[in-house]
Structures are given as C-alpha cells and as structure tokens.
C-alpha cells in the first residue's frame, strides 16, 4: 500500500496521517470548505475539497470520497472514527472499487452495528450478557412482563443506537408504556430503525472495554482494557489504562470474552468490545465498536504499540506479529477529551474562535489536536478540540501529571471540558478508583467547578472570569485575549 486516503477530519485525520508518513505511505486528505485551514489539510501530501460543511455534502458523501480515491490512485481508505467508519455500504463500495477498506469485514460491521444481531452472534460463545431480551420487542404487555421478571429499573435501548443515544431508563411499570413509545419513536427518527429491546439497568457499574487486534488469518488477541466510566450523557470524557480495579486474573477473563466476541463475527483489524462491570466484579457484554476508538492512545501509551500501524499491517495481510503472552502492559495512561463545551451549561457545545492556544509539554505528554490558534471550531461537527494523553510510571504519577498538564493547557475563546476533567481526576473517588458511570450525576454540580475556578483565579470574581471565558455578549477578539491574559 503506497497511498491512502483518509476519509475523516480534525485530530483523527492528522493522527492517522502521522503513522502513514512514518510508514512511507502517501496521504490524501478530503475536506469540506469550512475545514480548509485545518492542520490536517496542510499536513497531507494531497488535499481535495469535496463540498460544503454539511456532512452529507462531504464527509458522508461516498461518491465524492470514492471519486477522489480513484482519481488519486489511493490503494487504501482509512475511515477514522465516526462518519463512514462503521458503514457497511461504504466498506462494500470501497472494496468494489478495488480499494482496501482499512477496517473489519463487511460481515463484522453489519453484525456488530446492530446490538440485537451482536447479542445473537455472541450467544454461542458463552459471553456474559446483561439480563434482558435478545430480540426486538414490539408487544408492550410482553415487555412489561419481562421487565417485572428482570426487576426495575430497566433500560429500553435502540438496537441501532450509538453515541449514547436511543436509551431510556424506566424506574417503574407505570412509566413503561410512555418510555417504550418514546424510545421507539426516537429510534426511528435518529437511526431509521425502530427496533428496541430491554436490558436490566445495572446499578453503579464501571465501563470497561477491551482493545482487540485480529489479523485476516483468524488470529485474535486483546491489548488489555481501558476504563471509561467518567461520562456525561453516556459519552466518555476521561479514559485510562489500565483500570484501577482490574487485576491480571480479571483481565484474562474479560479479555477472553472479548476475543470470543471478535471471533463470533470473524473480526479483522482493531476493534473494541465494551462491557459493564458491577460492584461484585461480574461483567456483561454491551457492544462491539468496529473501528479505532477515540480513546485508543491510552492503550498505545501502555503497550508501546501504534494501533494505526497495526491496522495497516493487518490490512496488508500480515499475520499477527505477537502472541497474547507477549502483549506488553507498563505504567499508566490517562486521556482527557478537550471538548468545546460548557460543563456549567449541561455540557452544551460552546463553539467559536480559539483566540489563544498553548499546549502542555513534557515527558509522557501527548496532545492529539486538530486545531491551532486563530481557527474556529465549526458548528457542523463534533465539538472536540483535542485529546490530552498523559503517561506516568504508575497511576498516582499519571494523575499528578495530568492535573499539572491541565493547568498548563491554555485555551481562550470558549469554555472547555478541561476544568471538569480536573475536578473529576482530583476527586477522592477517582483517586481511589471506586468511581462508576454515575460519577457526574452523583458528584458533579456546576457550583463545584465555580469553586475550582475561583480558587484558580484568586481575587478575580467568578462573574468576570466567566465573562472572559464564556462570552455571553460579543466582545472584540483582542479584548477577549487581553482580558484572558490578565487573569493568568
Ligand atoms: P452506545 O452504543 O450508544 O454507546 P452502549 O450500549 O455502548 O451504547 O452504552 C453506552 C453507555 O450507557 C455505557 O457506557 C453505560 O454508561 C450506559 N449503559 C448502557 N447499558 C447499560 C445498562 N444495561 N445498565 C446501566 N448502564 C448502561
């Protein structure tokens, strides 16, 4: 493979290109008109504008992307995450054009893209699953009966759901009908597929996921776990590897289950099998994501393996170059998602121009970002600015270094999740490892962040600080910058 097109944008496009360049592979970028000044466009060996910001006109437009791939003679397409990365039709079309889709087989994408199909596929492998139904539920009376048997609270989930969407918690039978109807109509409007099912709502669990690596010859190994329990709206904000509560024996058990999930769909490449882990260390299969995950760098930092390089090697047909026993695990890594969001306003996007930007630096500090000072975070896409990944020789060192790196990170022009991440990582429950997916609901109130921020800014009143960080009224950029500087 001498030339690869990256069908994505922002930090992940840049991150993928870095590895491709390391491997002496030519890179082709495709971009939408609002992204023309982004670093990934300039970093690529060739770059082509394929349309307007609306994803259907650009990053989701298969015809345009395939055209560029064919015209430029790309031999592979790397889809990154999001956009077309888990789209079986795209994978098929890429393959039909004689180009290698750098990802799993069409079968794996199809099976794992649907939560009910995935449950059916893994059934024969004895993988533990959350108690519930494994078929589409259409009959409300039957649903109520099952929910009563399982015991409330339960979750009604969309089979085609993703990104934390399409889930409804039901606390009692009296709410069942209403929530069932809402879940179904939400599933139709968001995913075009109204199929829903029931799962027991696991109380105070942890989200633990296993990184899979498989070749095209049937060999499957796992690259340890990631702990991703710090979430808002069922979406991850802070991730780490390894998990503070998973020991070698449990890792081997969950790892084996994950390898079986991958085998059930003849998996190829890198993928992630997600589980819930309850207080008694029982684990339950949730789903498999058939792509590179946002949080893959914490696995890279603690194994020393480049997962994009691994994807390319598998795509070239190489047999796995290490056995399960040879998979390294050293030190500890933490990732913080730096999103342009306001944690004080329910984590809603807070977009705008980055008027000042300075990355933290130092040994074991990695920043995967897709923007630079002066650029604007566009409305059309995910509001992620960067990922801060910190490595320490042990968890304690990783925590301290992450807190320092957050303090050193300077972003002005919008609110970000950095302050929230600092609050979470410095929290007693994070430090002792007992935190669960309910951390935000149980412990986080915007006022707490205010205290954090007030401490950080000394005499300056919170109201002034907020005005600088989170301009409600339009303020000139130089004014924004100088007021931001004055608080440092
Ligand atoms: P998605 O595909 O939308 O990411 P998942 O099934 O992976 O959906 O679940 C996302 C998150 O929702 C999990 O990380 C967890 O926080 C929560 N969740 C999912 N299923 C359950 C469950 N049965 N009990 C409790 N929490 C759950």
Gap from CA of 203 to ligand 1 centroid (Å):
12
Gap from CA of 368 to ligand 1 centroid (Å):
26
Give the number of the atom of ligand 1 that is nearest the alpha carbon of residue 289. Answer: 2
Helix axes 462-469, 446-457, angle to 10 degrees: 100
Instruction: Give yes or no: residues 159 and 288 share one domain.
Output: no
| Residue 377 forms part of a structural domain | yes
State the SS3 of the chain: CCEEEECCCHHHHHHHHHHHHHCCCEEEEEEEHHHCCCHHHHHCCEEEEEECCCHHHCCCCHHHHHHHHHHHCCCEEECCCCCCCCCHHHHHHHHHCCCEECCCCHHHHHHHCCHHHHHHHHHCCCCCECCECCCCCCCHHHHHHHHHHHCCCEEEEECCCCCCCCEEEECCHHHHHHHHHHHHHHHHHHHCCCCEEEEECCCCCEEEEEEEEECCCCCEEEEEEEEEEEEECCEEEEEEECCCCCCHHHHHHHHHHHHHHHHHCCCCEEEEEEEEECCCCCEEEEEEECCCCCCHHHHHHHHCCCHHHHHHHHHCCCCCCCCHHHCCCCCEEEEEEEECEEHHHCCEECCCECCEEECCCCCCEEEEECCCCCCECCCCCCCEEEEEEEEECCHHHHHHHHHHHHHHCEEECCCCCHHHHHHHHCCHHHHHCCCCCCHHHHHCCHHHHHHHHHHHHCCCCHHHHHHHHCCCCCCCHHHHHHHHHHHC
Instruction: Determine the longest span between alpha carbons in the chain, in angstroms.
Output: 64
User: Considering the chain, what is the average pLDDT of its residues?
Assistant: 92
| Residue 286 forms part of a structural domain | yes
User: At 15, phi and psi to the nearest 5?
Assistant: -65, -40
pLDDT in tens, 48-97: 999 999 999 999 999 999 999 999 999 999 999 999 999 999 999 999 99
Give the number of the atom of ligand 1 that is nearest the alpha carbon of residue 165. Answer: 3
Place of tokens 């399982």: 150
Which structure tokens are listed for 477? 């950029």
Give the number of the atom of ligand 1 that is nearest the alpha carbon of residue 163. Answer: 3
* Number of structural domains found in the chain: 3
| Residue 26 forms part of a structural domain | yes
Instruction: Give yes or no: residues 307 and 388 share one domain.
Output: yes
Please give the residue range of the domain that contains residue 164.
131-200
User: At 339, phi and psi to the nearest 5?
Assistant: -100, 145
Please indicate whether residue 485, judged by its CB atom, sits closer than 6 Å to ligand 1. Answer: no
CA-nearest residue for atom 18, ligand 1, is 234
pLDDT in tens, 150-167: 999 999 999 998 877 888
Residue 233 pLDDT: 85
Mean pLDDT for the stretch of residues 454-467: 51
Percentage with pLDDT > 70 across the chain: 92
Other C-beta atoms lying within 10 Å of the C-beta of residue 3: 17
- CA 437 to mean position of chain CA atoms: 15
| Residue 126 forms part of a structural domain | no
Instruction: Give yes or no: residues 335 and 188 share one domain.
Output: no
Instruction: Give yes or no: residues 259 and 344 share one domain.
Output: yes
Strand 365-369 and strand 384-392: pairing? antiparallel
Gap from CA of 111 to ligand 1 centroid (Å):
18
Gap from CA of 235 to ligand 1 centroid (Å):
9
Please indicate whether residue 231, judged by its CB atom, sits closer than 6 Å to ligand 1. Answer: yes
Q: What is the CATH number of the domain that holds 368?
A: 3.30.470.20
Mean pLDDT for the stretch of residues 315-337: 98
Residue 484 pLDDT: 59
Look at residues 200, 219, 245 and tell me which one is the last residue of a structural domain: 200
Which structure tokens are listed for 136? 């589409």
Gap from CA of 440 to ligand 1 centroid (Å):
15
* pLDDT range class, residue 472, cuts 50, 70, 90: very low
Residue 165 pLDDT: 80
Place of tokens 């991850």: 236
Gap from CA of 8 to ligand 1 centroid (Å):
26
Please indicate whether residue 161, judged by its CB atom, sits closer than 6 Å to ligand 1. Answer: yes
Please indicate whether residue 163, judged by its CB atom, sits closer than 6 Å to ligand 1. Answer: yes
User: At 404, phi and psi to the nearest 5?
Assistant: -65, -40
Q: Is the pLDDT assigned to residue 474 strictly greater than 60?
A: no
| Residue 117 forms part of a structural domain | no
Put the strands of the sheet holding 167-170 in their side by side order.
Answer: 167-170, 154-158, 196-200
Give the number of the atom of ligand 1 that is nearest the alpha carbon of residue 274. Answer: 7
CA distance 41 to 47: 6
Give the number of the atom of ligand 1 that is nearest the alpha carbon of residue 155. Answer: 23
| Residue 124 forms part of a structural domain | no
Strand 332-339 and strand 341-342: pairing? unpaired
| Residue 314 forms part of a structural domain | yes
Gap from CA of 234 to ligand 1 centroid (Å):
7
| Residues 6 or more apart in contact with residue 426 via CB below 8 angstroms | 399, 403
Instruction: Give yes or no: residues 455 and 404 share one domain.
Output: yes
Q: Where are the beta strands (DSSP E) in 340-409?
A: 341-342, 348-349, 356-358, 365-369, 384-392
Mean pLDDT for the stretch of residues 359-375: 97
Give the number of the atom of ligand 1 that is nearest the alpha carbon of residue 437. Answer: 16
Higher pLDDT, 486 or 341: 341
CA-nearest residue for atom 17, ligand 1, is 234
Please indicate whether residue 274, judged by its CB atom, sits closer than 6 Å to ligand 1. Answer: yes
Instruction: Give yes or no: residues 16 and 161 share one domain.
Output: no
| Residue 112 forms part of a structural domain | no
Give the number of the atom of ligand 1 that is nearest the alpha carbon of residue 203. Answer: 25
Please indicate whether residue 13, judged by its CB atom, sits closer than 6 Å to ligand 1. Answer: no
Question: Given 291, 313, 337, 422, which residue is catalytic?
Answer: 291
Residue 448 pLDDT: 79
pLDDT in tens, 100-121: 999 999 999 999 999 999 999 9
CA distances from residue 71 to 13, 74, 423, 484 in whole angstroms, order as listed: 20, 8, 49, 47
Ligand 1 pocket mutation, candidates 283, 286, 294, criterion most atoms within 8 A of CB = 286
* pLDDT range class, residue 486, cuts 50, 70, 90: low
Look at residues 85, 102, 119 and tell me which one is the last residue of a structural domain: 102
Percentage with pLDDT > 90 across the chain: 86
* pLDDT range class, residue 473, cuts 50, 70, 90: very low
CA distance 227 to 470: 31
CA-nearest residue for atom 12, ligand 1, is 234
Q: Is the pLDDT assigned to residue 138 strictly greater than 80?
A: yes
Instruction: Give yes or no: residues 262 and 181 share one domain.
Output: no
pLDDT in tens, 384-395: 999 999 999 999
Please indicate whether residue 441, judged by its CB atom, sits closer than 6 Å to ligand 1. Answer: no
Instruction: Give yes or no: residues 187 and 251 share one domain.
Output: no
Instruction: Give yes or no: residues 295 and 369 share one domain.
Output: yes
Q: Is the pLDDT assigned to residue 452 strictly greater than 80?
A: no
Look at residues 167, 200, 233 and tell me which one is the last residue of a structural domain: 200
Gap from CA of 286 to ligand 1 centroid (Å):
7
Instruction: Give yes or no: residues 218 and 354 share one domain.
Output: yes
In this prediction the pTM is: 0.91
Q: Is the pLDDT assigned to residue 455 strictly greater than 90?
A: no
Please indicate whether residue 160, judged by its CB atom, sits closer than 6 Å to ligand 1. Answer: no
Please indicate whether residue 290, judged by its CB atom, sits closer than 6 Å to ligand 1. Answer: no
> 261 near 293, Cβ under 8 Å?
no
- CA 444 to mean position of chain CA atoms: 21
Instruction: Give yes or no: residues 210 and 196 share one domain.
Output: no
Please indicate whether residue 208, judged by its CB atom, sits closer than 6 Å to ligand 1. Answer: no
CA-nearest residue for atom 11, ligand 1, is 234
> 94 near 101, Cβ under 8 Å?
yes
Q: What is the CATH number of the domain that holds 188?
A: 3.30.1490.20
- Respond yes or no: is residue 15 known to be catalytic: no
Residue 163 pLDDT: 76
Ligand 1 pocket mutation, candidates 234, 237, 272, 285, criterion most atoms within 8 A of CB = 234
Q: What is the CA radius of gyration of the chain?
A: 22
Helix axes 307-315, 10-22, angle to 10 degrees: 60
Q: How many CA atoms lie within 13 A of 303 on its CB side?
A: 26
pLDDT in tens, 207-242: 999 999 999 999 999 999 999 999 998 899 999 999
Q: Which of 84-98, 125-139, 447-461, 467-481 has the highest mean pLDDT?
A: 84-98
CA distance 90 to 97: 11
CA-nearest residue for atom 19, ligand 1, is 286
CA-nearest residue for atom 22, ligand 1, is 201
Q: What is the CATH number of the domain that holds 94?
A: 3.40.50.20
- Cis peptide bond N-terminal to 153, omega within 30: yes
Instruction: Give yes or no: residues 244 and 347 share one domain.
Output: yes
CA distance 388 to 42: 22
Beta bridge partners of 154: 170, 200
Q: Is 396 exposed, middle or buried (0-12, 13-18, 19+ CB in 10 A)?
A: exposed
């Amino acid at each position: 493979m001498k030339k690869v097109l990256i069908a994505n944008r922002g930090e992940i496009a840049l991150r993928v290109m870095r590895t491709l360049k390391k491997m002496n592979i030519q890179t082709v970028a495709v971009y939408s008109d609002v992204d023309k000044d982004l670093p990934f466009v300039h970093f690529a060996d060739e770059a082509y504008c394929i349309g307007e910001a609306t994803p259907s006109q650009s990053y989701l437009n298969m015809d345009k992307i395939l055209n560029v791939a064919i015209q430029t003679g790309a031999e592979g397409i790397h889809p990154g995450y999001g956009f077309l990365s888990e789209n079986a039709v795209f994978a098929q079309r890429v393959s039909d054009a004689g180009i290698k889709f750098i990802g799993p087989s069409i079968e794996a994408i199809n099976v794992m893209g649907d939560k009910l199909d995935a449950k059916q596929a893994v059934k024969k492998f004895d993988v533990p699953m959350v108690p519930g139904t494994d078929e589409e539920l259409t009959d409300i009376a039957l649903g109520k009966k099952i929910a009563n048997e399982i015991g409330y609270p339960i979750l009604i989930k969309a089979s085609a759901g993703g990104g934390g969407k399409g889930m409804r918690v039901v606390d009692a039978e009296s709410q069942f009908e209403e929530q069932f109807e809402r879940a179904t109509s939400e599933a139709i409007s968001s995913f075009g597929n109204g199929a829903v099912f029931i799962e027991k709502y696991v109380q105070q669990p942890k989200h633990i996921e296993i990184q899979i690596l498989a070749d095209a010859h049937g060999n499957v190994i796992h690259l340890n776990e990631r702990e991703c329990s710090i979430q808002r709206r069922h979406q991850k904000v802070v991730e780490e590897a390894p998990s503070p509560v998973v020991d070698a024996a449990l890792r081997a058990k969950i790892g084996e289950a994950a390898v079986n999930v991958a085998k059930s769909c003849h998996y190829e490449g890198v993928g992630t099998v997600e589980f819930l882990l309850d207080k008694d260390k029982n684990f339950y299969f949730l789903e498999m994501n058939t792509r590179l995950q946002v949080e893959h760098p914490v696995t890279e930092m603690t194994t020393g393996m480049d997962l994009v390089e691994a994807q390319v090697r598998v795509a070239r047909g190489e047999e796995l170059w290490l056995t399960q026993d040879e998979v390294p695990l050293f030190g500890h890594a933490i990732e913080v998602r730096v999103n342009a969001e306001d944690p004080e306003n329910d984590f809603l996007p807070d977009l705008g121009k980055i008027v000042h930007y300075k990355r933290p630096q130092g040994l074991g500090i990695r920043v995967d970002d897709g923007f630079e000072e002066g650029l604007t975070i566009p409305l059309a896409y995910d509001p992620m600015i960067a990922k801060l990944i910190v490595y320490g020789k042990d968890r304690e060192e990783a925590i301290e270094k992450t807190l320092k790196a957050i303090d050193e990170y300077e972003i002005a022009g919008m609110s970000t999740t950095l302050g929230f991440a600092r609050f979470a990582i410095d929290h007693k429950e994070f430090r002792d490892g007992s935190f669960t997916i309910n951390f935000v609901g149980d412990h986080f109130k915007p006022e707490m962040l205010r205290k954090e921020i007030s401490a950080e800014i000394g005499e300056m009143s919170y109201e002034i600080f907020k005005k600088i960080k989170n301009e409600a009224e339009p303020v000139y950029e130089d004014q924004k910058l100088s007021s931001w500087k004055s608080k440092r």
